[in-house]
Structure 1
Amino acid sequence: MRAAVFDQFGGPEVLHLGEVPEPEAGPGQIRVRVEAVGVNAFDGKVRSGAMEAVFRTQLPGVPGLEVAGVVDQVGADVVGVTTGDRVTGPAGRGAAELAVLDLWAPVPDTLDAPQAAALPVVSETSRRALRILDVKPGETLLVHGASGGVGGLVTQLAVASGVHVIGTASPANQERVASYGATPTTYGEGLVDRVRALAPTVDAVLDTAGSGVLTDSIELRGGTERVLTLADPAAFALGVEFTERSEHSAEVLAGIIDLVARGEVSVPVAKVLPLAEAGRAQSLVDDGHTGGKVVLVP
């Protein structure tokens, strides 16, 4: 089958279309004919070789952490799903014509494949971040990168639960953050003063951007407690909590799918590209200013 592959570590240019063996659904698994693949920053870290110190990648590598598609094979001991069903879920080696899933949720007809493929990673990460920070109604949460996929969903979920959210974003994305019900502000020099002018107390901070905001976040919070980053390794030197271990749940994913389908939250899809342009897609995500999810379609 066709897949986006890399035979060596390097920049986005090492990605190309290639042929790899078709996967088979094992016990407790399903196989889907892929209709869309979400592209994530982690894909680029694996492709570059930056993750080799943590785990080894077998070459040729195939990126793709989340897919949406149609079930075409059901493994032993699987119930509640049949061939022809539309599903989405976290995947390994998902940027291909076929992918195997260990966990999935049904996709309603009201959501197209690119939108469905944009949801597994941000759903899990957003819920995990909110659980760790344990923000309560009436508290103030500062979200860095509030216009992005994870930051935007965290912002919407927090606002819906009665939390006051201040969200940092580029000048071009201030209106989007405001549309989520948050108070927008720009990042960069003077951030501490701008946030203090908006809220006398910051109860919790979430950094989704990894753009060097942890020192300012600690100052605003008055310490490292309830400061969490998803993206800045400087956390380890500063004593800030860093979370990256996924805790995928079919129930959580289904819940976010339902909210998106009912229009209560949104996860914007900024760009849809063909599988042959996987390198370009990862380049856009590596730059970090996509304004929404980037999705590949086989």
Structure 2
Amino acid sequence: MRALQYTAFGGPEVLAVVDAPEPHAGPGQVRVRVRAAGLNPLDWKIRRGLMSQGRPLEGPGRSGFEAAGVVDEVGEGVTGTAVGDDVFGLGEATHAELALLDAWAAKPAAVDWAVAAGSAVAAEVSVRVLDLLGVGAGSTLLVDGGAGGVGAVGVQLAVSRGATVIASAGEANQGYLTEIGALPVRYGDGLAERVRAVAPEGLDAVFDVAGKTPPPTLASMVSDPAQVVTISQFELGDSGIRVTTEPGDRAAALAEAARLLESNGLVVEVQTFPLERAREAVEISESGHVRGKLVLLP
């Protein structure tokens, strides 16, 4: 099968499409013939060696944590899913023609493959953070970095729960934030003042997606710093802000995303690239100026 692979840490130039061995579903897994696979910042951070703690790469590296496709192999213990089912979900090494998923949900028939693939990671992360923050009806939430893949999904999930959502982005994406249900503000210096102008009664919670606002500034926007959760900053000092890295209930998050995708309560804007143009997609991801989600098509 064709798969995206690298044999040394580095930039996009180390990526190559190669002929790789086919994986087989183990207990609790399904194998899918991939129709689309999302690209996330974690993919290139791992490939650049930023998560290796100085250790060299052992064996070939593979990327991808989400995909949508047709089930063609079912592992031991799997129930409720059969060969031929259309699904989307979470796994590893999904930038390939075949991939294993460890958590999945049925893909609604009317939902595009690329949209489904591009929603899985963002939905899991967003549901996890919103649950940690207790976001629900009547909450006022800031999503700092609301136009990217995770941020846009986080905005829409919070809106679906009845929250008032303020979201930050650059000038070019202010209209997009309005389209997905947020009150838009520009990110950068003066963010706290702009947020206060939009929400004079204050915030209940902050979801830090982009990692561009200093922790003290984020903490100053809520009465309790623990009501700020970040997925992108790790040097938090004694700010009291929480960081989350461990997955939550992945199946429940994917099921919530599937329901909203089917009802048009969740819209994911995607840019698609054939697997052979993965380097181009990765360069866009690494630029940090992505609107919506980048998706590879094997």
- Give the TM-score category using the shorter length: over 0.9
Secondary structure of 1:96 counterpart: coil
Quote the Cα distance in structure 2 between the aligned partners of 1:88 and 1:38.
11
SS of equivalent to 2:221: helix
1:223: Cα distance to partner? Answer: 5.0
Q: How does 1:160-239 map to 2 (within 5 A)?
A: 160-200=160-200, 201-236=202-237, 238-239=239-240
TM-score (norm. length: structure 2): 0.94
Deviation at 1:238, TM superposition (A): 3.2
Q: 1:56 to 1:203 in 2, by over 3 A?
A: farther
Number of the residue aligned with 1:98: 98
AA matched with 1:14:
V
Residue equivalent to 1:150: 150
CA apart distance, 1:212 = 3.1
Higher mean displacement: 92-101 or 130-139: 130-139
- Deviations along 1:42-87, one digit per CA (max 9) or x if unpaired, are 0011100011129986421110100111111122222222221111
**Aligned-partner residue type, residue 126 of structure 1:** S
- How many Å apart are 1:33 and its aligned residue? 0.9
Pairing of 1:37-48 with structure 2 (within 5 A): 37-48=37-48
Alpha-carbon contact 1:6-1:59 (below 8 Å) kept: no
Does structure 1 retain, via aligned residues, the 8 Å contact 2:67–2:117?
A: yes
Shift of residue 138 of structure 1? Answer: 2.4
Instruction: Answer whether contact 1:72 1:84 (CA < 8 A) is retained.
Output: yes
Greater CA drift, 8-17 or 254-263: 254-263
> What residue is the counterpart of 2:108 in the other structure?
108
Query: Alignment partner of 1:221: what SS?
Result: coil
CA RMSD of aligned residues (A): 1.8
Deviation of 1:160 (Å): 2.8
Alpha-carbon distance change, 205 to 54 in structure 1, aligned in 2, over 3 angstroms: farther
- Between 33-42 and 255-264, the greater mean CA deviation after superposition: 255-264
Q: Structure 1, unaligned stretches of length 5 or more? A: none
Are 1:259 and 1:265, in contact at CA under 8 Å, matched by a contact in 2? yes
Amino acid at match of 2:21: P
TM-score when scaled to structure 1? 0.94
> Is this contact kept in 2: 1:143–1:206, CA < 8 A?
yes
- Pairs aligned (count): 297
After the TM superposition, which of the residue ranges 113-122 and 207-216 deviates more from structure 2?
207-216
Amino acid paired to 1:138: G
- Partner Cα separation in structure 2 for residue 167 and residue 33 of structure 1: 36
**Aligned CA distance change for structure 1 residues 3 and 215 (closer, same or farther; 3 Å):** same
Go from structure 1 to structure 2 and tell me whether the alpha carbon gap of 1:291 and 1:93 turns closer, same or farther (over 3 Å shift): same
Distance in 2 of aligned mates of 1:250 and 1:57: 31
The letter for the 1-side match of 2:261 is V
8 Å contact kept, 2:229–2:241: yes
SS of residue paired to 2:173: helix
Q: Percent identity?
A: 43
Structure 2, unpaired ranges of 5+: none
Would you say the 8 A contact 2:160–2:265 is kept in 1?
A: no
Which is worse superposed, 184-193 or 217-226? Answer: 217-226
TM-fit CA distance, 1:194: 1.2
